């Protein structure tokens, strides 16, 4: 099973007691002697209503940034903006309902963020997901296409329109949130890893094209991050135990882990870094993808998982 890392001390398998604090983004960077200031800068965060996107938005706001969060649910966006604004008075959060698969909505949201103070300094693209999982021989083709639309086309729309504004502003930084499933095969994850691999290549392509205009484009490959979406995985002894076995730092990641890396890539401290996909996964990329057979075998059967129809 995973070791806990929610504050205080804990014990990892085979190791003694270790300090296991998760610090807020601003505190952690200050303790490292690095000041990451985003005062008077404006950033756009897709998927900003919850999970990783919310954590990134909070980190930026606490560092003094203006943050526009996007998502499909206006109520959730409103609640998130209110919560962060109360906790981070040095920054400011606004929200704009938008679906990343709708190019017109994305173009309008990018324009709204740019109009905030006349320039868009950066984008964190967190929106993504998968419409289906299961054996490739039983894949739902419509759900596959919908996932391609979300993770590939949606990413292109966000990058296309935000890059235009950052080029006009003299430069900027784009960070795309990918997945370890893009580099390590995750059996039965269907279109998710495939489309995240596409996002990785889009990031590298854009970095090569846009460098001459001082727009940096990078990505982050999270491992298993403790969010609402993966709680059922963490609650499964078989699956969470398998994750621990294939992760050198055997604990689930926290939203703060991804926010820390993201703020670094957005900052001037990373001004000569572009075209990189950074794994923030506890080292899982060194080993293998997880085994989800305990979750999926009841639905598909052992033969179904090996392709028998």
pLDDT of 8 strictly over 90:
no
Mean pLDDT computed over 123-134: 97
**pLDDT computed for residue 229 by the predictor:** 86
The candidate with the shortest Cα–Cα distance to 175, out of 152, 210, 134, 203, is: 203
| Per-residue tokens: 123 | 């984008």
pLDDT digits (tens, 9 = 90+) for 223-246: 999 998 899 999 999 999 999 999
pLDDT of 307 strictly over 60:
yes
**Residue spans per domain, the chain:** 27-305
Using 50, 70 and 90 to split pLDDT, how confident is the model at 22?
Answer: very low
Annotation marks residue 157 as catalytic: no
| Per-residue tokens: 205 | 């392509």
Percentage, residues of the chain above pLDDT 90: 86
Catalytic residue among 192, 243, 292, 300: 192
3-state SS record for 22-72: CCCHHHHHHHCCCCCCCCCCEEEEECCCCHHHHHHHHHHHHCCCEEEEEEC
Mean pLDDT computed over 180-188: 95
**pLDDT computed for residue 36 by the predictor:** 76
User: What does the mean pLDDT of the chain come to?
Assistant: 91
Which DSSP category does 220 fall into? E
pLDDT of 269 strictly over 90:
yes
pLDDT of 6 strictly over 90:
no
Asked whether 135 and 305 are in contact (CB, 8 A), the reply is yes
Q: Give the distance, in angstroms, between the CA of residue 112 and the centroid of all CA atoms in the same chain.
A: 22
- Rounded to two decimals, the pTM is 0.89
**pLDDT computed for residue 33 by the predictor:** 54
pLDDT digits (tens, 9 = 90+) for 76-126: 999 999 999 999 999 999 999 999 999 999 999 999 999 999 999 999 999
Is the domain spanning 27-305 CATH 3.40.50.720? The answer is yes
Mean pLDDT computed over 193-203: 98
């Amino acid at each position: 099973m995973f070791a806990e890392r929610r504050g205080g001390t804990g014990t990892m398998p085979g190791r003694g007691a270790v300090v296991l604090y998760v610090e807020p983004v601003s505190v952690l960077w200050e303790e490292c002697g690095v000041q990451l200031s985003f005062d008077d800068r404006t950033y756009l965060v897709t998927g900003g209503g919850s999970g990783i996107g919310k954590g990134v938005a909070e980190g930026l706001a606490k560092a003094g940034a203006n943050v526009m969060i996007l998502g499909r649910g206006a109520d959730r966006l409103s609640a998130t903006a209110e919560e962060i604004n109360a906790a981070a008075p040095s920054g400011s959060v606004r929200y704009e309902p938008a679906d990343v698969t709708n190019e017109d909505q994305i173009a309008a949201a990018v324009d709204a963020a740019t109009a905030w103070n006349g320039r868009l300094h950066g984008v964190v693209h967190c929106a993504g997901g998968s419409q289906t999982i299961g054996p490739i021989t039983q894949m739902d083709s419509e759900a596959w296409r919908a996932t391609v639309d979300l993770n590939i086309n949606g990413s292109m729309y966000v990058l296309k329109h935000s890059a235009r504004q950052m080029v006009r502003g003299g430069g900027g930084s784009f960070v795309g949130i990918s997945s370890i499933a893009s580099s390590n095969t995750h059996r039965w994850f269907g279109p998710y890893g495939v489309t995240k691999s596409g996002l990785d290549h889009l990031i590298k392509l854009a970095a090569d094209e846009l460098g001459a205009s001082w727009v940096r484009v990078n990505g982050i490959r999270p491992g298993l991050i403790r969010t609402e979406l993966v709680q059922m995985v963490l609650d499964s002894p078989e699956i969470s135990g398998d994750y621990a076995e294939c992760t050198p730092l055997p604990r689930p990641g926290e939203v703060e882990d991804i926010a820390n890396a993201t703020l670094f890539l957005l900052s001037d401290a990373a001004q000569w870094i572009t075209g990189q996909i950074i794994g923030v996964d506890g080292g899982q990329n060194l080993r293998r993808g997880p085994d989800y057979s305990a979750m999926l075998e009841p639905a598909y059967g052992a033969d179904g998982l090996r392709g028998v129809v």
